[in-house]
Amino acid sequence: MKRQRSSTVPSSRDRLLIRRIAWFRYQLRQFVRFSEKASRACGVTPQHHQLLLGIAGYTGRGWATVSELAEFLQQRHNAVVGLVERAAQKGLVRKEQGARDRRFVRVLLTPQGEAVLAKLTELHRDELARVRARLLTASRIRPPRVRQSPGA
């Protein structure tokens, strides 16, 4: 008895969607790579940069709890505790315990952390504009075709 193969050939519409998703992921990865390099150039790890962003911007309050930062960073609570501790040792953040409940800890930026974040934000401004333009272009037209290499 002969088995029938299911059709795995995507339609032209699906192929276009796949190309757009691939192009989008490519643009995201380029942005992440840029951001990682910029962080290191400013003397912090990419994780510290993400931490600073989470503290300054995630809640809108200018401070965050470790639980909020764990959600923002999509990391385990104990991993974020260690990250916050290392950032505090570098002088980027400070911790404030709650007056009534000592388990409640606010994480805030120090002036040094604010300065690093300001510099990184400035560096990212132009890159975000470039990424936005590329993504808008990619959503309107087909992404460029990659040339076949000889012998492919």
For the stretch 55-86, pLDDT in tens is 999 999 999 999 999 999 999 999 999 999 99
E strand or H helix at 16, and its extent? helix 12-41
d(CA 52, CA 35): 13
Q: What's the pTM?
A: 0.79
pLDDT on residue 141: 56
Helix axis angle, 46-53 to 111-140, nearest 10°: 90
Nearest to 34 by CA among 142, 101, 126, 99: 126
Q: Say which CATH architecture domain 13-140 belongs to.
A: Orthogonal Bundle (1.10)
